[in-house]
Copies of this chain bind each other. A is one copy, B any other.
Amino acid sequence: MSTDPIDQTARAPWLDLPADHPFGLGTLPYGVFSTEGTAPRVGVRIGDQVLDAGACAEQAGMESGEVWLAPCLNPFLAQGRPAWDAARAWLVEVLTNDSLRDCVEPHLLDLEDVRLHLPVEVADYVDFYASEHHATNVGRIFRPDSEPLTPNWKHLPIGYHGRAGTVVVSGTDVVRPTGQRKAPTETAPTFGPSIRLDIEAELGFVVGAATELGRRVSVDDADDHLFGVVLLNDWSARDLQAWEYVPLGPFLGKSFATSISAWVVPLAALAGARLPLPAQDPQPLPYLLGDGTPWGLDVHYEVELNGTVVARPEYRDLYWSPAQMLAHLTVNGASVRPGDLFGSGTISGTDRGTRGSFLELSWNGTEPIELADGSTRSFLEDGDTVVIRGWAPGPDGTRIGLGEVRGTIIPAR
What residues make up the interface of A, taking CB atoms closer than 8 Å to B? 123-124, 126, 129, 150-152, 155-156, 158-166, 168, 172, 175, 177-180, 182, 188-189, 191, 213-216, 237, 240, 243-253, 255-257, 282, 285-287, 328-329, 331-337, 340, 413
Q: Chain B residues near A333 (CB, 8 Å)? A: 175, 177-178, 256-257, 413
Could you say which of A177, A244, A286 has the most chain B C-beta atoms within 10 Å of its C-beta? Answer: A244
Q: Chain B residues near A177 (CB, 8 Å)? A: 332-333
Q: Which of B165, B175, B189, B243 contacts A337 (CB 8 A)?
A: B165
| CB atoms of B159 and A332 under 8 A apart | no
Please tell me how many copies of the chain the complex holds: 2
Shortest C-beta distance, A281 to chain B (Å), equals 12
Q: Chain B residues near A336 (CB, 8 Å)? A: 165
- Please report whether the interface of chain A is mostly helix, strand, loop or mixed according to DSSP: loop
Contacts known (A160-B251, A161-B251, A248-B129); A180 close to B168, Cβ less than 8 A = no
Report the Cα distance A256→B211, complex, angstroms.
Answer: 13
Contacts known (A163-B124, A285-B180); A214 close to B175, Cβ less than 8 A = yes
Q: Which of B151, B237, B282, B334 contacts A166 (CB 8 A)?
A: B334
Report the Cα distance A25→B164, complex, angstroms.
Answer: 37
Contacts known (A245-B249, A413-B333); A285 close to B164, Cβ less than 8 A = no
**Shortest Cβ distance from A286 into B: residue:** B191
| CB atoms of A250 and B252 under 8 A apart | no
| CB atoms of B213 and A257 under 8 A apart | yes
Contacts known (A152-B189, A248-B250, A257-B213); A332 close to B179, Cβ less than 8 A = yes
Report the Cα distance A287→B180, complex, angstroms.
Answer: 10
